[in-house]
Copies of this chain bind each other. A is one copy, B any other.
Amino acid sequence: MFIAMNRIMCQPDYVEKFEHMFRTRAGEVDKMPGFISVKTLRPLKEDQPYIIMSFWEERSNFDDWLKSEAFKLGHRRGFDDVAKARAEGRQSPLTSSMEQYEVISE
C-alpha cells in the first residue's frame, strides 16, 4: 500500500474555509483506479500542519491522479486563493509539502 501525505500549513484566517473545502470535496478522487481512501487530519497543536492523507494500492495510481483533469478541477478553489494572494503580493493562505510512503508492516 502507498500513502501520500500533503502537509499543509494554513493561515489562521483561512482555517474555516480550508476545512469547509475538504468537508465539501467533489469526491472525484474516489473514482480513480487504485484509490483506497482519504482522510483530512487536523493537528492537535497549533504549530503543526494539517495533513491530507490518501491511501492507494500503488504509487503509480497516485501519480495518475496528480496528472488528471479531475485533480485540477477538484483543487481549483484552493489553487485560486493561493494564486490571488500571490498576485496581490499577500502571504499565501496555504503552504504545503508532500511526503510519500510505502506501508511495510501492519
Q: Which A residues are closer than 8 A to B by beta carbons?
A: 1, 3, 19, 22-23, 25, 37-45, 48, 51, 59, 99-106
- For the complex, would chain A's binding face be called helix, strand, loop or mixed by DSSP majority? strand
Q: How far is the CA of A105 from the CA of B41 in the complex (A)?
A: 8
Chain B residues positioned under 8 Å from A39 (CB to CB): 1, 3, 103, 105-106
How many angstroms from the CA of A42 to the CA of B101 in the assembled complex?
Answer: 5
Across the interface, name the chain B residue whose C-beta is closest to A40. B105
- Looking at A22, A23, A39, A43, the one whose CB has the most chain B CB atoms below 10 A away is A39
Inter-subunit contact A41/B102 (CB<8 Å) = yes
Contact of B42 with A106 in the complex, beta carbons under 8 Å: no
* B104 x A41 contact (CB < 8 A): yes
Which residues from B are CB-within-8-Å of A101? 41-44, 51
Residue in B3, B19, B22, B23 whose CB lies within 8 Å of A41 = B3
Residues of B within 8 A of A51 (CB): 101
